[in-house]
Structure 1
Amino acid sequence: MFQRATPDQLWKLTRPGNRHDRLTRDNLLDLEDHHLVRIESVQEDQRQVWVLTRRGHGEAKQLLEPKGIRVSVLRKQEYDPDTGELLGTGYDDHAAAVTSTAAELHRAGIGHRLGFQTEIGHRLGNSYVQRADLVVRAPEAGVPVLLLEIDRRTEDAHDLVAKLRRYWEWGRLLPRDADKRTVDLVRSRPDAIDQLVNHEQRLWRRVYPPTGREGLVPVAFVFADTTEAKVANTVAVLEEAGRRYWAPRRYDSLYLKAVTARDYRQAVPVVVTTLEQLQEHGADAAVWRRLGRTGEQTLTDALDNPDGHDLYLAQEARADAEDKRHRATQREAERPVCSRCGRKFTDERWEEITVHRTAVRAGDKSVCGPCRADDVAREEAAAEAARRQAAAPPEPEGEQEPGRGRGWFRRRP
């Protein structure tokens, strides 16, 4: 995994619970006796740099590669043909910073010693390969995956912005076997990858596990062997020039004033720290700063989104409930009152007088349902009386009073 390491780094990677690196040094000497490791160089500060021998490299490959763990290339012993001096013994400061960063993460319980990978390539659509200095997978520590870039301020700040852009672009790629409909949709609509293609359909989910948070794969910039002023200037450039890639967006909500949550789904979570802070306080301390925030947090707190999707759901629900209460209050204030008895209209009566298909036969629209029912009852009673009257037989015309008609035909005396 790491080509070279000092006893101090190996101690933190293998025996972080020990108070010092004495046991690690003893183990190195024992491995040296068995021709499995050798000292490659001694630094100016007297640190010994150890590497695997050919025999040790072969045994490491047999042990680790069947488990899917990549072993770094063999550091060969090569000598100058003229002077006989051992070549290639310069201990690259960047490689040392990468190993030290991994050691501090492991010492803090963030990542298993065999869970680190270096120089992992991420191929973009134009075939450019963006290589991460270090990849850690530590789900038990709340960090399923984290890509780390170790910078000793040998790169311009805008070069780091370009790296961030490439990680963002890689997180938006589709796998090669994506269905044709999705590919055509993304090609025809620039916003399709954001709005219509979820993370499960993208390439990065074939490579890394879900992060457990909104957004793409998180990236950490660890600065080493530099000044606070240079780090501050670099972070300021990252924040400003890289805003498109790390910054969340506003949610498209009907309640813009009530919803303050931010949408992190298409953003790269970016955290920054220094190797010196990791060594002094520990990687599990509040030494990480999330771009867009002030102050330092623990790594998991920095990666979390307290103003993200969970807050959005809560604010949206509260705003929707408040809107319903407001509309209900407003509706009650507008509810008609019966002009006859003073009672408020029921919803059914209100609908009856306002919907066109029922309003034509709603009768007096100023009265409530019960009063309207009384009107209907009176109308029906009057109609029934009229019907009965019309059905009764008429009286005979010219009928005489009883006992008077026959007197006209009496016989005369």
Structure 2
Amino acid sequence: MWKLTRPDNQHDKLTRDNLLDLEDHRLVRIESVQEDQRQVWVLTRRGHGEAKKLLEPKGIRVSVLREEKYDPVTGELLGTGYDDHAAAVTSTAAELHRAGIGHRLGFQTEIGHRLGSGFVQRADLVVRAPAAGVPVMLLEIDRRTEDAHDLVQKLHQYWEWGRLLPKDADKRTVELARSRPDAIEHVDHEKRLWRRVYPPTGREGLVPVAFVFADTTEVKVANTVAVLEEAGRRYWAPRRYDTLYPKAVTARDYRQAVPVVVTTLEQLQEHGGGAAVRRCGGVAAAGTGRRADADGRARQPRRPRPLPRPGGPRRHGGQAAPRRAAGGGAPGVHAVRAQVHRRALGGDHRAPDRRTGRGQDRVRPVPR
């Protein structure tokens, strides 16, 4: 937490003193202690109410209250298994803040996105850093406690949420969206629900999603990314433009896709803003603030034209074709000059047939 609140400090003494003072006023409490002796602090009910009064008038949403519940038989605190995940989320926010991405008040946790079915998909972390070129980004932190297909399901739910309309949408837009399954793709993003919640991203597509893996190996990350790219291709992959010249237009349409990037918490802790980031369908790039695709479109590489061979063009047998002499043809080839015979525009230009008397076409020999 001290990396997020006091990134310039070399130790956490000042942050710890502030937490102890808040604990004396019953605003925070220690929920658990990790194996590395790190303490997980959460807001109490009183502190949660004070935070809402302070932050919600400024447009900052406060996460859900972590209630203090104990097992009636053993007396152990319930819900402590989530503490490792909460620590990874806080560490991710701290490393992004140290890299210059996002203000300390620009991070929000457990932000819900309600789907049409009533299900609420909660993002682990929401980052808003317009100064760093990231107006908004949804982050999912995974300690490899979730199956890869569960992450694909989350990506699908974010894609579905980006296609919803607000409740007060005009009747014409609603009728257009209900006319056929893909009709929502013809509705501008400014009329959709996600534009009521988040600012424009500055690029094509829906709200970008980042998957951050923590406490795992490179092999597991590679296997998970392979499943994301294959099973989730419908949600992140671009499409061809609907044009009459599909071979001439090589650009891709990202307007209905969810931009997806992948990195690890260890990369953020070691390299900060220069951490290796991989984009689904693309290549790994260094720098979390960079855009893997500048214009949001992937272009097909053009085939290089073959260079001319020395000695002129080749024949089928591999021998060089004889060069044409100036003012004449190649040796052994007779040039034939065609003579044009002009005729009058009117009248019959066919010679009469001796048997029928009717005109017929006659080919005049070319005089030599």
TM score, norm. by length of structure 2: 0.73
CA distance in 2, matches of 1:139, 1:147: 14
Deviation at 1:138, TM superposition (A): 0.9
Q: Does structure 1 retain, via aligned residues, the 8 Å contact 2:63–2:111?
A: no
Structure 2 residues not aligned, in runs of 5+ = 303-339, 346-368
SS of 1:209's partner is coil
**Residue 220 (structure 2) aligns with:** 230
Establish whether residue 239 from structure 1 lines up as the match of residue 220 from structure 2: no
Residue of structure 2 in register with 1:96 after alignment: 87
2:208 is matched with 218
Q: Structure 1 residue 78: deviation in Å?
A: 5.8
- Displacement of 1:244: 0.9
The total of aligned residue pairs comes to 302
Alignment of 1:146 onto 2:137? yes
The Cα of 1:127 is off from its aligned counterpart by 1.7
**Match of 1:296, SS?**
strand
Find out whether 1:41 has 2:32 as its counterpart. Answer: yes
Q: What pairs up with 1:368-387 in 2 under 5 angstroms?
A: none
What secondary structure is seen at the aligned counterpart in 1 of 2:286?
coil
- Greater alpha carbon shift after TM alignment, 70-79 vs 12-21: 70-79
Given that 1:288 and 1:302 are in contact with CA atoms closer than 8 Å, whether structure 2 keeps it comes out as no
Residue 294 of structure 1, aligned match among 270, 276, 283 = 283
Retained in 2: the 8 A contact 1:36–1:57?
Answer: yes
**Conserved? CA contact 1:214–1:265, under 8 Å:** yes
Higher helix share: 1
Tell me the residue number matched to 1:198: 188
**Aligned counterparts of 1:124 and 1:80: Cα–Cα separation in 2:** 33
Please give the per-residue CA displacement for 1:93-114, whole angstroms capped at 9, x wherever unaligned.
1111111111111121212111
Aligned-pair CA distance for 1:191: 3.1
Shift of the 22–304 alpha-carbon distance from structure 1 to 2, 3 Å rule, reads: farther
Q: Is the 8 Å Cα contact of residues 212 and 264 (structure 2) preserved in structure 1? A: yes
Residues of 1 paired with 2:44 and 2:160: CA distance? Answer: 40
- Superposed CA offset, 1:50-83 (max 9, x none): 3345554444333223323333455555667788
Q: 1:64 to 1:245 in 2, by over 3 A?
A: same
Partner of 2:59: 68
Alignment match of 1:270 (pick from 249, 257, 260) = 260
SS at match of 1:118: strand
C-alpha distance in structure 1 between counterparts of 2:242 and 2:63, whole Å: 47
The structure whose Rg is larger is: 1
* Preserved contact between residue 11 and residue 21 of structure 1 (Cα < 8 Å): yes
Structure 1 length-normalised TM: 0.66
Structure-2 change in CA distance of 1:236 and 1:49 (3 Å): same
CA distance in 2, matches of 1:159, 1:78: 28
Aligned-partner residue type, residue 246 of structure 1:
W
CA distance in 2, matches of 1:89, 1:171: 31
CA–CA separation in structure 1 for the residues paired with 2:157 and 2:73: 45
- The answer as to whether partners of 1:40 and 1:89 remain within 8 angstroms in 2 is no
Give 2:7's aligned amino acid. Answer: P
Deviating 4+ runs (over 6 angstroms): 79-83
Residue equivalent to 1:111: 102
**Offset at 1:236?**
0.2
CA contact (8 A) 1:153 1:226 kept: yes
Q: Secondary structure in 2 aligned to 1:153?
A: coil
Aligned counterparts of 2:64 and 2:153: Cα–Cα separation in 1: 28
Q: Which residue of the partner structure matches residue 21 of structure 1?
A: 12
1:200-224 alpha-carbon deviations (Å, 9 max, x no partner): 1111111111000000000011111
